[in-house]
Amino acid sequence: MKVFKFLLLFIVTLMMMVSLASAVEIGPNPTSSLLNDDGPFSVSSSSVSRYVSGFGGGTIYYPTTSGQYGVIAVCPGFTGTSSSISWFARRLATHGFVTIAMNTNSTLDYPSSRATQLAAALRYVINSSSSTIRARVRSADRGVAGHSMGGGGTLIASANDSTLRVGVPMTPWNTYTSFSSVRVPQMIFGADGDTIAPYASHARPFYNSISLAEKAYGLLNSATHFTPNSTDERIGRYGVAFAKRFVDGDTRYTPFLCGSEHTSYATSLRFETFLNTCPY
Ligand code: 9J3
């Protein structure tokens, strides 16, 4: 009996050590007003030539404060360039991530190509020729995000690499709807007025098809296909909170995804529909 109790205590202690080891708290305790805007980190940026191999260059954003941060690549949509999603890459960085607002090899590349380019952009940041940027990166903690075909690419990149920690597809577009093999947590945004990637045939069936990962779906009210191309409080708030929860394992963000801070914010004025697999 005593041996049994000792074993149990030992196992519980081990489990606690494992869960602590995989969670990194970066930055002050989150508040609603911090999450609605730029975060507490000052950010530097570094431009990446379009002639690098595997993707089309872009801009890296990283916290000025030394430390190790998760890394997230953000991909634009069809005909778009990095400037169309740079607000989101920069926003993530101000909350404690190293990010890249990337360009694609061709602005006409399809989602499967955008997926391999997202992976190439992550590798590029992790192996950066800048020792400052290399020193800021926790290479095990990688995520992907993107708009439209970049959102389709985000889901495909997530299906291709189950070691990614997060995907944030924004008004995603793809030729097929089943992402049943995805094991990477996804925060999917749809737009109620999207006529290019209508949520009923894109974002929503993508969300529904995922059963092997934690997920959330926010259908933005009074929004279009291009709402993710400029600063949006809702996308910033939930994109940051979801990335913090799943890239850093930081459960201080749980109330903003599943708890009272979520339910009070996610009114029907902001989200026509909000679905999730809470608690997480
Ligand atoms: O990336 C997007 O904005 C994709 C939607 C699109 O127009 O696809 C047509 C082929």
Instruction: Identify the residue whose C-alpha is closest to ligand 1 atom 8.
Output: 78
Q: Nearest 5°: CA angle at 15, between 66 and 138? A: 20
Q: Are 140 and 161 in contact (CB under 8 A)?
A: no
Instruction: Using alpha carbons, list the distances in angstroms from residue 201 to 176, 205, 223.
Output: 9, 6, 16
Q: How is residue 110 written in tokens?
A: 């399809």
196 Cβ closer than 6 Å to some ligand 1 atom? yes
Q: Has 148 been annotated as catalytic? A: yes
User: Could you give the 3-state DSSP secondary structure of residue 84?
Assistant: helix
Dump pLDDT digits (tens) for 53-90.
Answer: 999 999 999 999 999 999 999 999 999 999 999 999 99
158 Cβ closer than 6 Å to some ligand 1 atom? no
Sign of the Cα torsion 224, 225, 226, 232 reads positive
Q: Are 153 and 114 in contact (CB under 8 A)?
A: yes
Which pTM does this prediction carry?
Answer: 0.93
Task: Return the domain boundaries, the chain.
Answer: 42-276
Give every residue of the chain whose pLDDT is below 70, as ranges. 1-22
- Least Cα distance to 238 among 210, 217, 221 occurs for 217
Q: Which architecture characterizes domain 42-276 according to CATH?
A: 3-Layer(aba) Sandwich (3.40)
Question: Which of the following is catalytic: 82, 84, 86, 148?
Answer: 148
Q: Choose which residue among 79, 117, 195, 196 to substitute to test ligand 1 binding: the one with the highest number of ligand atoms within 8 A of its C-beta.
A: 196
Q: How is residue 148 written in tokens?
A: 């439209």
